[in-house]
Structure 1
């Protein structure tokens, strides 16, 4: 019986301690002085904001040739070997009838499927040539952005592996959409400026300007708050130390900075809550 009584007292003490901790936390929130939360000062700046239509894709060669026999023939002499760099018009092989089969592009011989004295049927792939100097990007364009692209339009293409952007020109846009997992998209071909680092298959992202705001007042996205009506506002410092609200009108944002059209001007100081304490205090005392 004594053991049971001792156990009940210990349990009662634990519940009392738990209640005191909860009360202390609640009291800290309710009775904390205004303006003592953890805030950091941010200054509104003048800057530019640009948003983009983004189109993912991959690098491919602009020129590729597969030499296919158009009739039965016997191979007399093969003039090239795999890895050779050939020029347009260079002889690749000669048939026993003296016919010279020539390359139609500048490029590198990547595959040879024939050999001397071999009999070849019509329609057989004999030699493959790839241009590893001139490249293009084939990018996916969603059906809603298709209307923004035009032939001969200039566009920037980011090459992820190289960490750089190259200038490009749109040379083709498919007339029929493809569907992948319920999403429709078109393929646009973009000729790229030459770069020795390009390789077929590298991932790319074409960037087309969507919206642009030049020399406007900007703030970091983190300082923008929203009221119950989902209207944006910021916190301004006051002489009493308590942050005060200021409604603002916003424009475009790039995910990092937001354009402020009214309510704050360049040079104004705003406050940003550094932790949950500062934000909790502001939410408790506002309105």
Structure 2
């Protein structure tokens, strides 16, 4: 009888120890997941509006997919009075869309093209408990976890702002722990031939020194 009792005690201890290990591993997995913040790679774009006298496009130098520099002549327009107007690129970037063509009549206020900046960015939501790890102009490593090959680039913290409209609900509803304050962090990402808008970008907070 005594041997059976000892066996039950040993089994109970093994079960408790095993359960504690699983909880610890589960907590560790949750912690790692919380420390990996993901966002979508995006690029700012700017619509070019025609703001000169009414006229006709005599020459179109811009086509969708062209890389342009700030100040490049995208269109030459001849006004009704015979003068020539030039439409310049406002940014370095990529011609994302062209809305007009040679010979078309232009009126002030018409949208004629969209330039997409070559520099990307991603927005991350960061908990209040982690925000102290980030400073403006700080360099952070950006990973792209869903690509077949490993790509890692250096990003720069461009802005940090409170995000009161976004709350992360805790799993427990303990007093004072219902919600977690969140911050919206924008990371600037340099252009890279291997990257495209829409890709998932990730920052691992375990890699950032506290």
Interval containing the TM-score (normalised by the shorter chain): 0.5 to 0.7
Contact 2:57–2:106 (CA under 8 A) maintained in structure 1: no
CA–CA distance in structure 2, aligned partners of residues 55 and 131 of structure 1:
24
Structure 1 residue 112: deviation in Å?
A: 0.9
Higher strand share: 1
CA–CA distance in structure 2, aligned partners of residues 144 and 197 of structure 1:
33
Contact 2:98–2:114 (CA under 8 A) maintained in structure 1: yes
TM-score, normalised to structure 1, is 0.49
Q: 1:164 aligns with which of 133, 141, 151?
A: 151
TM-score, normalised to structure 2, is 0.64
Within 5 Å, which residues of 2 pair with 1:220-235? none
Contact 2:41–2:200 (CA under 8 A) maintained in structure 1: yes
CA–CA distance in structure 1, aligned partners of residues 207 and 100 of structure 2:
52
For residue 150 of structure 1, give the secondary structure of its aligned residue in structure 2.
Answer: coil
In the alignment, what sits opposite 1:126? 112
In the alignment, what sits opposite 1:69? 50
CA–CA distance in structure 2, aligned partners of residues 186 and 33 of structure 1:
49
In the alignment, what sits opposite 1:205? 202
CA–CA distance in structure 1, aligned partners of residues 103 and 208 of structure 2:
64
RMSD between aligned alpha carbons? Answer: 3.8
Contact 1:139–1:188 (CA under 8 A) maintained in structure 2: yes
For residue 146 of structure 2, give the secondary structure of its aligned residue in structure 1.
Answer: coil
Whether 2:160 is the aligned partner of 1:179: answer no
Q: 1:83 aligns with which of 60, 65, 72?
A: 65
Within 5 Å, which residues of 2 pair with 1:100-119? 100-119=86-105
Within 5 Å, which residues of 2 pair with 1:117-156? 117-132=103-118, 134-156=119-141
CA–CA distance in structure 1, aligned partners of residues 9 and 164 of structure 2:
60
Structure 1 residue 165: deviation in Å?
A: 3.1
Contact 2:52–2:85 (CA under 8 A) maintained in structure 1: no
Whether 2:39 is the aligned partner of 1:57: answer yes
In the alignment, what sits opposite 2:76? 94
For residue 166 of structure 2, give the secondary structure of its aligned residue in structure 1.
Answer: strand
- From the superposition, tell whether residues 101 and 171 of structure 1 become closer, same or farther in structure 2 (CA, over 3 Å): same
Structure 1 residue 118: deviation in Å?
A: 2.8
For residue 174 of structure 1, give the secondary structure of its aligned residue in structure 2.
Answer: strand
- From the superposition, tell whether residues 91 and 203 of structure 1 become closer, same or farther in structure 2 (CA, over 3 Å): same
Contact 1:159–1:166 (CA under 8 A) maintained in structure 2: no
In the alignment, what sits opposite 1:228? none
Structure 1 residue 136: deviation in Å?
A: 2.5
Contact 1:72–1:119 (CA under 8 A) maintained in structure 2: no
Structure 1 residue 99: deviation in Å?
A: 1.1
For residue 200 of structure 1, give the secondary structure of its aligned residue in structure 2.
Answer: coil
Structure 2: gaps spanning 5 or more residues: 15-30, 170-178
Deviations 1:76-130 (A, max 9, x none): 2222222222222111112213110111222221211112333334433210122
CA–CA distance in structure 1, aligned partners of residues 95 and 89 of structure 2:
10
- From the superposition, tell whether residues 124 and 210 of structure 1 become closer, same or farther in structure 2 (CA, over 3 Å): same
Whether 2:188 is the aligned partner of 1:191: answer yes
For residue 99 of structure 1, give the secondary structure of its aligned residue in structure 2.
Answer: strand
Deviations 1:172-192 (A, max 9, x none): 223554437877643222123
- From the superposition, tell whether residues 116 and 54 of structure 1 become closer, same or farther in structure 2 (CA, over 3 Å): same
